[in-house]
Amino acid sequence: MATTGVDSEITKSDKYSILLPTYNERENLPIIIWLIIKYLDGSGIDFEVIIIDDGSPDGTLEVAKQLQNLYGSNKIVLRPREKKLGLGTAYIHGIKHATGNFIIIMDADLSHHPKFIPEFIELQKENDYDIVTGTRYINGGGVYGWDFKRKLISRGANFLTQMLLRPGVSDLTGSFRLYKKDVLLKLVESCVSKGYVFQMEMIIRARQLNYTIGEVPITFVDRVYGESKLGGTEIIQFAKALLYLFATT
Ligand SMILES: Nc1nc2c(ncn2[C@@H]2O[C@H](COP(=O)(O)OP(=O)(O)OP(=O)(O)O)[C@@H](O)[C@H]2O)c(=O)[nH]1
Ligand SMILES: [Mg+2]
């Protein structure tokens, strides 16, 4: 989609801070870092990766330190916290330390492939979008490795939200996104929800605040290492938050 043939040049002053929150991602971290460096260095993009580890008991931080030694502390920045405090505050913590004017948020569990990042950047530049979001739900996007139940939940959550809030963005619950830094700061400030529903609220608020949003089709692969946590409580939380947003926006 983003291959237009027009070479939109990366402005020299643009820098991308990639926020990578981790909790028990010891196996995944070396692979994701290797892929990020491979695809971004290959495209001549100026970037840093900020790893926010929340005291993972599996020793993720030790692995992160080794990666920092390997790739350098200007590329790999460590901003760990003592204990598991959740994703929302992990992002805020990361933004505070970001030196880039753009922020990329992605999961560290290999569900989000770094090969899409140059496409996000190119699309942002072409249209000066405030946000570019990965989507599993337009042509070329997709989900791999999910069972029927999980697909149904994700589709259902997106469908319900589309019906109630009409945000005009096809993937609301995904978290693979590129933001202008000041835009992300405003959004994070205006969001009230935590957990799974946070990503959806970000997009709904973005629409309210009239930010422009582009979409890049992505393939999403279920985590191979580590445990999945989506359960009944997340679904109930999501439904509650959806109703809250419906009532208040
Ligand atoms: N720093 C920090 N990172 C977290 C926390 N919870 C999850 N993460 C990380 O955030 C990213 C997304 O979390 P996931 O556990 O993959 O959430 P999910 O994709 O909805 O669920 P599964 O992949 O199915 O487990 C991953 O990189 C996690 O390691 C947290 O409390 N603090
Ligand atoms: Mg995941």
Question: What pLDDT score does 152 carry?
Answer: 87
Average confidence (pLDDT) over 240-246: 83
Mean residue pLDDT across the chain: 89
Minimum CA distance residue for ligand 1 atom 7 = 23
Residue 4, pLDDT > 50, answer: no
pLDDT in tens, 5-26: 445 555 568 999 999 999 999 9
Residue 155, pLDDT > 50, answer: yes
Specify whether the backbone of 195 is left (phi greater than 0), alpha (psi in -120 to 50) or beta.
Answer: left
Question: What pLDDT score does 1 carry?
Answer: 46
pLDDT in tens, 36-77: 999 999 899 999 999 999 999 999 999 999 999 999 999 999
pLDDT in tens, 178-236: 999 999 999 988 888 776 788 889 999 999 999 999 999 999 998 877 777 666 777 78
Question: What pLDDT score does 128 carry?
Answer: 98
- Of 138, 52, 33, the C-alpha closest to 92 is 52
Distance in angstroms (rounded) separating the CA atoms of residues 190 and 81: 23
The token pair at 146 is: 């999910």
Amino acid letter, 166: R
Å from CA of 109 to ligand 2 middle: 6
Atom of ligand 1 nearest to the CA of 22: 29
Distance in angstroms (rounded) separating the CA atoms of residues 155 and 160: 8
The token pair at 173 is: 């619950």
Cβ of 18 below 6 Å from ligand 1: no
Cβ of 229 below 6 Å from ligand 1: yes
Question: What pLDDT score does 244 carry?
Answer: 85
Distance in angstroms (rounded) separating the CA atoms of residues 28 and 192: 30
Å from CA of 111 to ligand 2 middle: 6
Question: What pLDDT score does 8 carry?
Answer: 52
Question: What pLDDT score does 19 carry?
Answer: 98
Question: What pLDDT score does 41 carry?
Answer: 92
Question: What pLDDT score does 12 carry?
Answer: 62
Query: Do the beta carbons of residue 21 and residue 91 sit within 8 Å?
Result: yes
Q: Which residues pair with 149 in a beta bridge?
A: none
The CATH architecture annotation of domain 15-248 reads Alpha-Beta Complex (3.90)
Distances (CA, A) of 109 to 30, 44, 150, 235: 11, 25, 17, 21
- For the chain, the farthest-separated pair of C-alpha atoms sits apart, in whole angstroms, at 50
Å from CA of 8 to ligand 2 middle: 32
Atom of ligand 1 nearest to the CA of 150: 24
Query: Do the beta carbons of residue 38 and residue 235 sit within 8 Å?
Result: no
Q: What's the pTM value of the predicted model, to 2 decimals?
A: 0.88
Distance in angstroms (rounded) separating the CA atoms of residues 180 and 7: 21
Cβ of 21 below 6 Å from ligand 1: yes
